[in-house]
Every structure is written in structure tokens, then in C-alpha cells.
Structure 1
Amino acid sequence: MTPQTEAAPRAPLSRGRVLSAAVALADGIGIEALSMRRLAQELGVVPMALYKHVANKEQLLDGMVETVVGEIDPPAPGSHWQGAVRQRILSARAALLGHPWAAQVIRSRTGPTPAVLAYMDSVIGMFRGGGFSVDLTHHVMHALGSRVLGFTQELFDAAAPGPGPEGRPAVPPEAAAAYPHVTELAMAAAHDGDSVVGGGCDDQFEFEFALDLLLDGFERLREQGWTSSARRSRSGGGLIA
């Protein structure tokens, strides 16, 4: 008689295993379809077993954000602040692009999770270590906004017109006549069908283009010894942080 092969013991359930499974499941089915019951099925446990590790769905989402932010590369030691900040932000972007639901969940949180706070603290520290005053760093972080985490909220998210001949956007003649400058740009843009910036835009290029403009501008302000109080004086007190 052939002896029965014993099944390999299942890895014990832990918070890390729950969060990793939740991230992988959201990657596969989308964040809207993710539920505690569906996650429990994926892990082969009853739903109540999950609540020993995450108290509720909101805590699960917080933990998923922590897991994704944990994928961001640490800052390169000894780098100039500009290169270090750029590398950190582009690494954050790569992490979020790997999990398309992550930006939506980050925006939905009522406050930053500890991992997000630690990441922000690290980026702020790079500016401070690069010679930026607290005042300038404050305004720099406002200017970066969500870009510091690798994503942006674009002006228009609606789907652009479908492509016409040679892959260029199809613009109705009446629209082209009414909005000639918009049409000119739409027809000239480099094409990227999966863009969230708008039909015809290369997301990664546009992101890096704007990021580099900001970082170069920040460096000029640092070199000039810029202060918000001097800026307010010149503008008659009209600048609001």
C-alpha cells in the first residue's frame, strides 16, 4: 500500500500575510471588488479569522497603503538633494503604478498612515538637509502636493476623443474652429493610449517634465534666499500659503 502523502502545512495567518494577500487581490480584481469575505476566501479562512489582524475594512485599507509605501526605494545616501528627491518621488510613482488602486485609496484616507508620514518626513528631511529653510520647505511641499507620492490629479479626467487617421485624436471641425489652440496641442501631442493626463499624452514624460521644472525652481529660490514674508511684502500681502 502506498503511504498517503500529507498536505503541506498552511502558513499561519498573520497581519503581514493578510495585507500581502489583500494587495495582490486588489491588483487582480480591483479595489471596488475587494471585501473581507472575498479576502477570507482567497486565504482559505473564515472571515472572522481576519479580524484578529485587522479590525475592519478601513484598517485593512490603511495596512494596504502601508504595504505599497513600503515598496518605495530608500533614499540614496550621499546624493545631492535634487537627485535624491527626484529618485524618491519616481520610486513612489513606480510603486503606485504597480498597484493602480493605491492612489485612489491614499486619497480616500482621512489622515496619513504611519508609513506615509515616515515617507513625507524623509522627503522633508532631504530638502532641509539640502539647505532649504523651514519656510521654503513648507511652500515646496505645498507646490509638490500629491506629486510627492508619485501621482497627480489632472485638470480633466474625461476620456479624450478617439483616434483619427494615423493615430491622432479625432477633433470635430466645429470644435477645431472654436478651440484652435486646444486642437493644435491635441494634434501635436506624443501618443500614449493609457494616459490619465489626456488622450495623446505620455504620462511618465509629463510627470517627470513637471517634476524637474519644480525641482529646478525650488533650487533657484533656495539660492536666492527666498522667504514668504518678502514675497508677501512685494505682493501686498496677497500670498496665501
Structure 2
Amino acid sequence: MLRTAIELADRDGIESLTMRRLGEALGVEAMSLYNHVANKPDLLNAMVDAIFVEIELPSQDEDWRTGLRKRSMSFRDVLSRHPWATGLADSGTQPGPSTLRHHDRVLGALRSGGFTVPLAAHAFALIDSYIYGFVMQEKNLPFETEEQTAAMAHTLLANIPADQYPHLAELVEQHVLVPGYDYAAEFPFGLDLLLHALEEARAADAGR
């Protein structure tokens, strides 16, 4: 049931997912689904918990920065596969066991890496805000392929006077239109800057 619900949400969006549609996809009456979930919010919580299973977690034998980088890259990939989950992943009032295990492991990696409890809380919030924000921005971009990106860039250049917006024109010409440009490559660049800053904050905190 969860697998089918996730497939429907991936394909058509979370707004289109109803108990009736899910029942039809499974070939059962919608009322029979209530033998497995109490209501739609309960279904959504279970779907989110299933999504957290897909995220690669930090292992206990690697340093915090390596573990959190791996986890963040994986989390971004999972949210990209399931864009409907971006607005639900941390909004549930009854997180499931996979969600709780995930959060506990991330906090454990930070604490083992020398972060104090307050700094671990700051780091967790900051990293996840970056991940969610990037995925949401990426989802709203008006292009996906390199060809679509180039077409949009040429259209932009044709419609903005370079003498009035020189830096925009420069960015498009010297960055976006460079062969192989991929907006997704901005994610690891920003993530590494963020992790570097957190390491400096951790070291400064430890030296007090």
C-alpha cells in the first residue's frame, strides 16, 4: 500500500492522492485501507517514514563531516525523487521509527564529532534548511536538461539589455552557457562551504 501511495504521489503530486484513488490503484475499496491506516494524515506520516529509509545515514566509523556530507547528498537525492515529501518530511506530529532513527543518528554523528548539544542543534537545522531550500528552488526552475537551460539562457540574453544588467549578462554568458553547466552542481559546492563553516564553529566552541 505504501509503495503504491508513494508511486502515485511521485507521478501526480501529493494533492492528487486520495484514499479513493489509492484504493482504485490497489484494486480494493477505499474503506478497506482504514484497516491499515487511521486516516489520510496517518497515511502521509507512514509515507514520509518510508522515505527516510532511503536516506544513507552516517556510519559510526567515519568522521562527522564525511558522514554528514554523505547523508546530505543522499537526502537531496531522495527529496528530488520524491518532491512531494519536501513539505512533509519534518511537519508530522507523530514521526515514525525510521524518521526518529534518522534524526537520532544525525545528532549522534554531530555529538561524536565534538559538537555541543546547542551547536549540534544549530548545525542540524542549518544543514537541513539548506537541503530543503535547494530542492525547492531546483524543483521550481523552468528547465531540466542542458538543452532547455541553454535555450532559456539565450532567451534571457535576448530580453535583458546587457548595458543595464551587465552582471546578469556576464553570469549567463560565462557560467550558464558554458558546456556541461548543471545547476545541480551548485549543491555540493554550497554544502562543502556550509560544512567547513560548521567545522570552524565546532573548533572555536571547543577552544573556549
What's the TM-score, normalizing by structure 2? 0.79
| Residue in structure 1 matching 2:112, options 109, 129, 133 | 129
Show the counterpart of 1:202: 182
Q: CA deviation at 1:93?
A: 1.7
Show the counterpart of 1:29: 12
Show the counterpart of 2:191: 211
Q: Secondary structure of the equivalent of 2:192?
A: helix
Q: Is the 8 A contact 1:94 1:150 kept in 2?
A: no
Report the Cα distance in structure 1 between the residues aligned to 2:78 and 2:133, rounded to whole angstroms.
Answer: 8
Structure with higher RCO (Cα < 8 A, 6+ apart): 2
RMSD: 3.3
Show the counterpart of 1:78: 61
Alignment coverage as a number of residue pairs: 202
One-letter identity of the residue aligned with 1:171: L
Q: Is the 8 A contact 1:103 1:151 kept in 2?
A: no
Structure 2 runs not aligned, ≥5 long: none
What's the TM-score, normalizing by structure 1? 0.70
Map 1:8-157 onto structure 2 (within 5 A).
18-106=1-89, 109-111=91-93, 113-114=95-96, 115-147=98-130, 151-154=134-137, 157=140
Report the Cα distance in structure 1 between the residues aligned to 2:31 and 2:16, rounded to whole angstroms.
Answer: 19
Structure 1 runs not aligned, ≥5 long: 1-17, 193-199, 231-241
Q: Is the 8 A contact 2:57 2:71 kept in 1?
A: yes
Q: Secondary structure of the equivalent of 2:156?
A: coil
Q: Secondary structure of the equivalent of 2:83?
A: coil
Q: CA deviation at 1:164?
A: 6.4
Percent of pairs identical after alignment?
A: 36
Q: CA deviation at 1:158?
A: 6.4
Report the Cα distance in structure 1 between the residues aligned to 2:151 and 2:131, rounded to whole angstroms.
Answer: 37
